Amino acid sequence: MKHTIEVNGIKVYAFHGCLPEEGKIGGYYVVDVHLTTDFSLAAEQDDLSHTIDYVIVNQIVEQEMAIKSKLIEHVGQRIIMKLRKSLDTIENVRVKVTKISPPINGDVDNVAIIIQD
């Protein structure tokens, strides 16, 4: 059976970007994680050890977002790789990294990347 777990709206302040100023002053980001798994046993037994712990998902996102990168594409890929390495029950994963108020010389609320495997 396939089930979905989502951890949405993980808010972080990080230092990603191609401009030197972005690496110094940072900016706000929001990360959404969508995981496909089978948590039938957890649902039957009411046991956290048989599902994905949201706390671990949040920790992985925060750890990877704390590592400076020029591109949010790079950060998103690192998040996926770490999730896959750390959580062996994942069937599919989708990560969306949103950069709030990017410095792109325009009136833009945000930019985002989505990686799905």
* Contact present, 16 and 69 (Cβ < 8 Å): yes
Write out the two tokens for 26.
């940072």
pLDDT of residue 86: 97
Write out the two tokens for 42.
């957890």
pLDDT of residue 1: 86
Beta bridge partners of 95: 33, 115
Alpha helices in the chain (DSSP H): 20-25, 40-45, 54-65, 72-86
Tens digits of pLDDT across the chain (117 residues): 899 999 999 999 999 999 998 999 999 999 999 999 999 999 999 999 999 999 999 999 999 999 999 999 999 999 999 999 999 999 999 999 999 999 888 899 999 999 999
pLDDT of residue 69: 97
Task: Report phi then psi at 13, rounded to 5.
Answer: -110, 125
Every domain of the chain and the residues it spans: 3-116
CATH class of the 3-116 domain in this structure: alpha beta
* Contact present, 113 and 76 (Cβ < 8 Å): yes
